[in-house]
């Protein structure tokens, strides 16, 4: 018998609707089967896709990342986010805002447009969760968040530092945090990069906890180092999916061997409960290079864990 209540992405009366009884393999592409809405009334979190990959330096395709992550996230919507003791969708009103429109014909205008769109939503919704897109998209997102919260600490999961210098005119997914530090957008003294396994001799004051350190020390030490670095002040969490080893996330543009396992990443993220997270994103999922959607599923699971961190953040 057809149930007229489904598909919840369209038919839910509000963003608190329970979706555990929906089929995982059908329906609209919304994050974790949440209601598709651009009405800010009552929303705690707006999930926004950023389908942009013009700044990649290797394999393109992350413009399809938001769609891939949303599709994989349907597998996570049928039950509470294990092993969390709570369902973030029972604590937070979460709606899927859809994607930011990207006009590829005017590439130089895109960063400002991304920033302005996110800032407009943040003016009416307490938090947004961004799904990229390549990692450059974090830069305009950070600028929009800083306009609301002031300079932020940053927790970056990544294979690359993304602090290489450029001529100041590039739209590049490997240089944007160089500019973020120079412009005072992020405070390097309250920022840390986890999982790094490429060479950059100038960390610009950001603490680096590289992949070897994560592998060779207890995960509790990494969690403690992150918490000590960011303290209790507002921070932003950005998760480049290439922080994971290519065996766990092949679908990305610049894979680097020797990375974190999904178990390590999830354990670290869960250990950050209680940090003062005001924004976050998952970036660099490139479905065309994926195998059996394992990268998209990893990205969706990271995004869901970020929602759990939102739910546990200080009011």
The pLDDT of residue 166 is 86
Count of CB atoms situated within 10 Å of the CB of 19: 21
Cis preceding linkage at 262, omega within 30: no
The pLDDT of residue 1 is 36
Q: What is the pLDDT of residues 101-160, one digit of tens each?
A: 999 889 889 999 999 999 999 999 999 999 999 999 999 999 999 999 999 999 999 999
The pLDDT of residue 3 is 57
Q: Is 87 annotated as a binding residue?
A: no
Angle between helices 294-312 and 65-73 (to 10 degrees): 80
Q: Which domains are delineated in the chain?
A: 28-312 (3.40.800.10)
Q: Is 162 annotated as a binding residue?
A: yes
The pLDDT of residue 148 is 97
Q: What is the pLDDT of residues 171-183, one digit of tens each?
A: 878 788 999 999 9
CA distances from 236 to 24, 79, 273 (A): 30, 27, 14
Gyration radius of the chain's alpha carbons: 18
Angle between helices 262-271 and 219-230 (to 10 degrees): 40
Burial 97-122 (b: 16+ CB within 10 A, else e): bbbbebeeeeeeebbebbbebbbebb
The pLDDT of residue 4 is 56
Q: Is 145 annotated as a binding residue?
A: no
- Distance from C-alpha of 112 to C-alpha of 118, rounded to nearest angstrom: 10
Of the candidates 116, 95, 109, 118, the residue with the CA atom closest to the CA atom of residue 47: 95
Q: Is 179 annotated as a binding residue?
A: no
Give every residue of the chain whose pLDDT is below 50, as ranges. Answer: 1-2
The pLDDT of residue 159 is 97
């Amino acid at each position: 018998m057809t149930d007229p209540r489904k598909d919840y992405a369209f038919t839910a009366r509000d963003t608190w609707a329970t979706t555990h009884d929906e089929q995982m393999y059908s329906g609209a592409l919304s994050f974790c089967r949440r209601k598709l809405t651009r009405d800010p009334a009552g929303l705690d979190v707006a999930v926004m896709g950023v389908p942009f990959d013009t700044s990649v330096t290797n394999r393109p395709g992350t413009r399809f990342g938001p769609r891939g992550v949303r599709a994989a996230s349907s597998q996570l919507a049928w039950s509470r986010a294990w092993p969390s003791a709570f369902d973030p969708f029972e604590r937070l009103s979460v709606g899927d805002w859809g994607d930011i429109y990207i006009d590829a014909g005017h590439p130089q205008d895109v960063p400002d447009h991304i920033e302005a769109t996110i800032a407009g939503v943040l003016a009416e919704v307490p938090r947004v969760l961004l799904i990229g897109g390549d990692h450059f998209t974090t830069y305009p997102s950070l600028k929009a968040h800083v306009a609301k919260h002031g300079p932020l600490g940053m927790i970056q999961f990544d294979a690359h530092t993304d602090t290489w210098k450029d001529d100041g005119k590039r739209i590049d997914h490997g240089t944007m945090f160089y500019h973020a530090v120079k412009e005072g957008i992020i405070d390097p003294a309250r920022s840390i990069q986890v999982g790094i396994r490429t060479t950059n001799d100038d960390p610009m004051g950001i603490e680096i906890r590289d992949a070897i350190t994560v592998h060779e020390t207890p995960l509790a030490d990494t969690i403690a180092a992150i918490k000590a670095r960011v303290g209790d002040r507002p921070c932003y969490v950005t998760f480049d999916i290439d922080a994971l080893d290519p065996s766990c996330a092949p679908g990305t543009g610049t894979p680097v061997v020797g990375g974190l396992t999904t178990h390590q990443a999830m354990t670290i993220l869960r250990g950050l409960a209680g940090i003062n997270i005001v924004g976050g994103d998952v970036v660099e999922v490139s479905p065309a290079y994926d195998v059996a959607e394992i990268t998209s599923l990893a990205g969706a699971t990271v995004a869901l864990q970020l929602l759990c961190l939102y739910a546990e953040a200080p009011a």
